[in-house]
Amino acid sequence: MSGSLPVWDPGRPGHELLDILKEEVRTKGKPNTARIHEIAELTGTTSAKVRGVIGYYSDLNTDDSTVHVCVGESCRARGSKSIITELENSGEVVGKIHCAGLCTNGPAVIRENEEVIPISKDGDGLQFFLSMDSLSMSYGAESIAQSLLDQIPKDAALIRTGSRGLFHLEPMLEVLVNEKRIGFGPLDADETLSVVDSITNISHSSHPKYIGEVESLEEFSSQNRFATQRIGIADPLDIESMKKLGAYSGYSNAKNLGAEGVLSELKKSGLRGRGGAGFPTHFKWKAAADEKSSIKYVVANADEGDAGTFIDRMIMEGDPHLLIEGMLICAETTGANQGLVYLRSEYPQAKRILQSAIDSARESNILGAESGFDITIANGAGSYVCGEETALLESLEGRRGEVRARPPYPTTSGLYGQPTVVNNVLTFAIAAAILREGSELYSSLGTDSSRGTVVVQIVGATNRPACVEVPFGGTIGDVFANFSSLEGVKAVQIGGPLGSVFRAKELHDIELSFEGLDSAGGILGHGGFVAFGDEFDPHREVVEWMRFFRDESCGKCTPCRIGTQRALELLTRLGTENEKEGDRVLITDLDDIMTSTSLCALGGLAMNPVRSTIERWPSKFGGHLTPKGGVK
């Protein structure tokens, strides 16, 4: 690592403060005044700063919950409310979380210290493959692994991989037969013996759970997998196997091309950021490259706060070297020397796997002193707005995650005031894939303004959840028809909690692209498509969204801090006997003000799901809101 350290500033004690406080709260409860003083001394900050931080992050709250249930959109659509009632009736104290990244198999119920280390086995004989992705584990992959250990031949290997994203087949066991990966799924633990028998007796194709060659399945072979290409194929922690599949070849190409060459490749590829705003990646990298500074940072945004999205987690668990490679290419291009991954605290398995991949990249001198670039993981502390890039930087500096006014932009003055590139995990992954495959191939796919591929995550009340990588273009309805189903689906929210809500039948008229969603009044966000079924209650959802925004507002700007609270009050009354005269005028005015004057997209888009839902289901709100605020 080169360059001198940033100037010490007691107002910016660094992320270590959050780690110390998390451990303190976990082991001893909330610190008292004397202890706060000690922690302040230890971390070189003031007691007031420590208090401010404790009051900000939900992970630093103490509660007596015995279990946590996810109440994010997808889990809500899958019935978290009734699970909570059931658990409470059985005497549990239920805490709520907003997305554990287990969206296809919700409602997610999380107990502390539940982390399971996946079992694997070496061997030169038959090669079995089983996903250790958190979702696969939630479908029961570990009990499959347990029973397999006793059943597979002594010389067989059980290799743990990421997930192929075809969740209706999970847990899915694959085995290499005649150079082809054949699959069985969805499996129960008591079916593994018959599967192993069928393979050893060469009668596997007649097994009831036989699904054939996995990569020939229509829903797999019809994808264009760039960022997801290696996920599910090999053990992500076996760096040599990953290299054989192309890991770090994009980095070698980048070194040969030089900074200008990489920027030109990215520009030609048309890559736009996948964190939500769709900002062209080459602009950001060029801006940082043009800065003169001995310290520059590369930050991966792995906060993935939008319920209904989990591809960042799948990459970190299934192909962590792809993220490392993307960050390395960015560092090579911009002259950065330090990398950080800001990882949401709800992803313990991703942390374990990514850390292990970082360690092996260091052992291979890909990272570390010899390469001039290293990466550390910083855990989030349960704040949705910390996914916003400037709030994220504040959090990395050990402060409350409040959004910064821009300019200056992070590429000029980011972490500790130094030039910083912040990109989403998937953006880094695609950048690495582009450098591996070439911009020509990538940009040959997609539409004029949305080049390449999009990773679509279909979750919620659908009987066929999926995570697929397909070219931009075509309609959203087509993607559901090809990879999932709209049967029984009443409404779909696209692009996370701040995204618009559409009727299922509209989706056949909306192009799958940044611009397609934009012209339909929506956003693509991080590619999450949450389906709601017949139980969709527009009024209840609108209130839930606004309550979430009110709770998660960082409080920096008035339109959002006050606006979300007032909107919550108004929406709760709207269309009920408590509605007051003038409420409709107030809501439309509030919408105008919040949308046009909020400092960041949390306040700026908070009315998006509200407006789109009221427009489509006016009868649930006592009628339409007209632009002037009257009833249509």
Q: How far is the CB of 22 from ligand FMN (least distance, A)?
A: 19
Backbone dihedral angles phi then psi of residue 218, each to the nearest 5 degrees: -55, -45
321's contact among ligand FMN, ligand SF4, none, with CB below 5 to 8 A by partner kind, is none
Q: Is 390 in the site for ligand SF4 (CB under 6 A)?
A: no
**Measured distance CA(87)–CA(78) in Å, rounded:** 16
Residues 52-71 that bind ligand FMN (CB under 6 A): none
Residue with tokens 């939630």: 138
Q: Is 422 in the site for ligand FMN (CB under 6 A)?
A: yes
Whether 528 and 458 have beta carbons less than 8 Å apart is answered as no
Categorise residue 78: left if φ over 0, alpha if ψ from -120 to 50, beta otherwise.
alpha
Three-class SS of 102-167: CHHHCCCEECCCCCCCCCCECCCCCEEEEECCHHHHHCCHHHHHHHHHHHCCCCCEEEEECCCCCH
What is the amino acid identity at position 271? L
Stretch that binds ligand SF4, among 12-20, 24-32, 493-501, 554-562 (CB under 6 A): 554-562
Q: Which is nearer to ligand SF4, 300 or 599 (CB)?
A: 599
**Measured distance CA(195)–CA(209) in Å, rounded:** 8
Stretch that binds ligand FMN, among 20-28, 83-91, 423-431, 570-578 (CB under 6 A): 423-431
Please identify which residue in 120, 136, 301, 457 interacts with ligand FMN, judged by CB under 6 A. Answer: 301
Three-class SS of 474-493: CEHHHHHHHHCCCCCCCEEE
Alpha helix stretches (DSSP H) within 291-334: 311-318, 320-334
Q: Is 403 in the site for ligand SF4 (CB under 6 A)?
A: yes
Q: How far is the CB of 608 from ligand FMN (least distance, A)?
A: 12
Residues 369-388 that bind ligand SF4 (CB under 6 A): 385
**Measured distance CA(146)–CA(142) in Å, rounded:** 6
Q: Is 547 in the site for ligand SF4 (CB under 6 A)?
A: no
Please identify which residue in 142, 174, 325, 389 interacts with ligand FMN, judged by CB under 6 A. Answer: 389
599's contact among ligand SF4, ligand FMN, none, with CB below 5 to 8 A by partner kind, is ligand SF4
301's contact among ligand FMN, ligand SF4, none, with CB below 5 to 8 A by partner kind, is ligand FMN
Please identify which residue in 15, 76, 274, 400 interacts with ligand FMN, judged by CB under 6 A. Answer: 274
Stretch that binds ligand SF4, among 28-36, 48-56, 360-368, 557-565 (CB under 6 A): 557-565
Q: Which is nearer to ligand FMN, 192 or 564 (CB)?
A: 564
Packing angle between helix 192-200 and helix 141-151, nearest 10 degrees? 50
Q: How far is the CB of 300 from ligand SF4 (least distance, A)?
A: 21
Please identify which residue in 554, 587, 605, 607 interacts with ligand SF4, judged by CB under 6 A. Answer: 554
3-state secondary structure of 468: strand
Q: How far is the CB of 274 from ligand FMN (least distance, A)?
A: 5
Q: Is 191 in the site for ligand FMN (CB under 6 A)?
A: no
Please identify which residue in 427, 553, 612, 613 interacts with ligand SF4, judged by CB under 6 A. Answer: 553
**Tally of CA atoms within 13 A in the half-sphere of 303 that contains its CB:** 26
Backbone dihedral angles phi then psi of residue 365, each to the nearest 5 degrees: 60, 20
387's contact among ligand SF4, ligand FMN, none, with CB below 5 to 8 A by partner kind, is ligand FMN
Q: Is 602 in the site for ligand FMN (CB under 6 A)?
A: yes
What is the amino acid identity at position 471? P
**Tally of CA atoms within 13 A in the half-sphere of 342 that contains its CB:** 36
Q: How many residues bind ligand FMN (CB under 6 A)?
A: 21
Please identify which residue in 152, 557, 574, 587 interacts with ligand SF4, judged by CB under 6 A. Answer: 557
Residues 559-578 that bind ligand SF4 (CB under 6 A): 560-561
Q: What is the token pair recorded at 570?
A: 């108004």
Q: What angle (nearest 5°) sits at the alpha carbon of residue 129, between those of residues 127 and 134?
A: 160
Q: Which is nearer to ligand SF4, 424 or 553 (CB)?
A: 553
Residues 582-621 that bind ligand SF4 (CB under 6 A): 598-600, 602-603
User: Which residues are 374's β-sheet partners?
Assistant: 338
Q: How far is the CB of 466 from ligand SF4 (least distance, A)?
A: 32
Other CB atoms within 10 Å distance of the CB of residue 250: 24
Q: How far is the CB of 220 from ligand FMN (least distance, A)?
A: 26
Q: Tell me how far the alpha carbon of residue 292 is from its chain's centroid.
A: 32
Whether 443 and 452 have beta carbons less than 8 Å apart is answered as yes
Q: Tell me how far the alpha carbon of residue 524 is from its chain's centroid.
A: 14
Question: Between 427 and 456, how does the x/- string for binding to ligand FMN read (CB under 6 A)?
Answer: x-----------------------------
Whether 609 and 501 have beta carbons less than 8 Å apart is answered as yes
Q: What distance, in Å, lies between the first and last C-alpha atoms of the chain?
A: 63
Q: How many residues bind ligand SF4 (CB under 6 A)?
A: 14
Stretch that binds ligand FMN, among 25-33, 237-245, 248-256, 303-311 (CB under 6 A): 303-311
Q: Which is nearer to ligand FMN, 414 or 575 (CB)?
A: 414
Q: What angle (nearest 5°) sits at the alpha carbon of residue 456, between those of residues 455 and 461?
A: 155
Please identify which residue in 222, 279, 369, 624 interacts with ligand FMN, judged by CB under 6 A. Answer: 279
Backbone dihedral angles phi then psi of residue 412, each to the nearest 5 degrees: -100, -50
**Measured distance CA(540)–CA(526) in Å, rounded:** 24
Residues 326-385 that bind ligand FMN (CB under 6 A): 385
Residues binding ligand SF4 (CB under 6 A): 385, 403, 553-557, 560-561, 598-600, 602-603
Residues binding ligand FMN (CB under 6 A): 273-277, 279, 301, 303-305, 385, 387-389, 422-424, 427, 600-602
